[in-house]
Structure 1
Amino acid sequence: MGVASVNGQQLDILSIQINNDLTSSDFGKFDFELIRAIDHPIADAADILSINLPVFVQDMDGDDSATKNLVVNVVDDVPEVVSKSISVVEGDDQASINVLRQSGQDTDGADDGLLTQITIGTTNLTIDPDGGFQSFNLYSDGSDPANPTDPSLLMGVLEVHPDGRIRFTAADDVQQGGDAVSIDISVTATDSDDDTDTKPITITVDDITSQITLSEPAAVRMQAER
């Protein structure tokens, strides 16, 4: 069993089991289990950490073989932000996505990746990974949510959770040059190794359509029936 000291506490990190049953077809087989995440030295990379385990064999006479290294390569499991899109209709319509989950599986990586930043236009907004959700106004020109160039271009409110959940609520009346208005923003996740991943998400607000139904006047209808 491999251990590490964290804040004065001994924690199990890895486990190795060796089959030394001479009658077994798996005699000499090593089973390696990584119990906890291991810090990797290179940030922003799925680098490989090699662990050298000295091993030797002993015969029935008690003679030892030369010691050799059993090399175990641990590949860094970095977070992966999943590029997704949100499409809503103006008038308080809302929709939610999770950019750290895909096909029912978490993509935050073994080192507990969390959302740490979103970028709207040229504005970088920090997400506190230890806090709750944060809300930002979203404008169709990509201007700073705290200091918009034109407040009338409000698309809606963006709600961002560190665990990857993002919800967008459309404004009541969104200025549109056509049937819809869209904007791309970037979302960044960071894990405890300082590995990061950034992907875009697209938010679209469709124009609400009004339908006018014309009914034939009663007098005209009666004349037609004669």
Structure 2
Amino acid sequence: MKRILTLAAASLLALTAQAAEFSEGKHYIDLKDQGFNAPNQVVKVYSTNCPFCYKYEKAVMPNYIKNLPDGVDYDAYHITTKPPFGLEKATVVAVAKTLGEKQYKKVKMAYYKHIHDDKIKFKSSEEATSFGLKAAGIDAADFEAKKGSAEVSALLTKWDQGLKVAKVKGIPAIVVNGQYLIVTQSITSMKMLDDLTAELLTK
């Protein structure tokens, strides 16, 4: 009996220690009124102009998305305000997104590579737009017809819900349930990120 109680106490201590592993302020921030409606979702707020977003895209996000619990949706919000030509790039990315995941990934990665690997700067908004259209295989006339549509406008509006979040700790920003911002600077391993996400999904 004593052994059973000892084992039970040890198990309780282990669970308590695990629950106390993550703390608000250090590992995550409750966004309160800066959050957005995204229940049972993990959202990445990013911009293709952001070098750290590119690093996360390559090194972190593939396994992170794969490791999300069953039934949890993943989304990514490309904000429109980060210069240069943030709105133009976000609009091309949004149009590509409405056309299919293949086009979306193509233009996103093309922008990342052009800006951060090749170190090439766009000289004008027209150049930034035409580059993205070519990368995604989108005809200019189709783009002009599509960019003002209700579908694309709604998508850009949704993405810009991430603007308040971006001002808290910068980007990339990972938001759980639209309410909890992960302090990525506190993350030291992939497992830690997965475990923290799983815990925040239960809040």
Q: Do these two structures clear the TM 0.5 threshold for a shared fold by scoring above it?
A: no
Quick check: which has more Rg, 1 or 2?
1
The structure, 1 or 2, with the larger RCO (C-alpha pairs under 8 Å, 6+ apart) is 2
Task: Kindly indicate which of the two structures has a greater share of residues assigned to strand.
Answer: 1
Length-normalised TM-score, structure 1: 0.21
TM-score (norm 2): 0.23
Decide which structure has greater helix share. 2
